[in-house]
Amino acid sequence: MLVIRCKNYDECSKAASDIFKNALKENPNMILGLATGSSPIGIYQNLIKDYENGEISFKNVRTYNLDEYVGITREHPQSYYYFMNDNLFNHVDINKENVHVPFAYEGKYEESCKAYTEELKKVSVDIQLLGIGANGHIGFNEPKTSFDQETFIVTLTEKTREDNKRFFNSIDEVPTHAITMGIADIMRAKKIVLIACGENKAEAVKRLLSGEITTDFPASALHNHNDVVVVIDDAACKLLD
């Protein structure tokens, strides 16, 4: 696990987006695993600038997102599909047919999950971007999720719903379930970049960097991967040393 420590969110975003930019320059046909939440927004803004400067193109890029709420449509402003269009895809030359955000079709949850995992196995993600939840969740893999878990429907913990309520009018509007790549799907990516910034991630960063591997803390599975870069800022390092 390589740790890159930066001063603040902007520097973290630059360090992380440069990893993607350089990889895209080398291989414009890359398969990217993408994430939502507030952490990746700066990375996406930088990648849009890199695209506008003519440094990179998304024309031949394929993307697979980590997760999506269950029970809201793709048109809902808080859906992760909407988020990705709004924060990245609408601003670059990606072919929307190459965009994949999991979706749990009503009455076909099991099939939806199976199909997503099967596709991920076929394509093999080159770089997977991750944020981290305060409780160590990656994607929506909450504590106690098996490291062998593939794409599944998860019941969100109260903590996660509480953390995400800032995007909704009230906690009651936050969906109770989500479809998410499982830890096993995430671990199949060739490279993983995790970004964690701000004081509210300090506890999670401390636990991640302790090196302990336990299903109580899903992100600790990353210690079993041989190419992980963790990008953190000073505030997130508050509880270290």
Site for ligand GLP, rule CB under 6 A: 35-39, 66-67, 131-133, 139-140, 160, 164
Give me the catalytic one of 50, 65, 67, 150: 67
Residue 126: active-site member = no
The helix or strand, by DSSP H or E, that contains position 46, with its residue range, turns out to be helix 41-52
166: tokens are 């800032």
Give me the catalytic one of 68, 126, 142, 185: 142
Sheet containing strand 67-69, edge to edge, reads 67-69, 177-180, 152-155
CB nearer ligand GLP, residue 5 or residue 159? 159
The nearest distance, CB 26 to ligand GLP, in angstroms, is 26
Cβ pair 154, 177 in contact under 8 A: yes
Residue 224: active-site member = no
Start-to-end Cα distance in the chain: 18
Sheet containing strand 62-65, edge to edge, reads 2-6, 228-233, 191-196, 127-130, 31-34, 62-65, 99-100
Give me the catalytic one of 87, 135, 141, 164: 135
Residue 135: active-site member = yes
CB nearer ligand GLP, residue 65 or residue 112? 65
Residue 162: active-site member = no
The nearest distance, CB 59 to ligand GLP, in angstroms, is 26
List, by residue number, the catalytic residues.
Answer: 67, 135, 137, 142
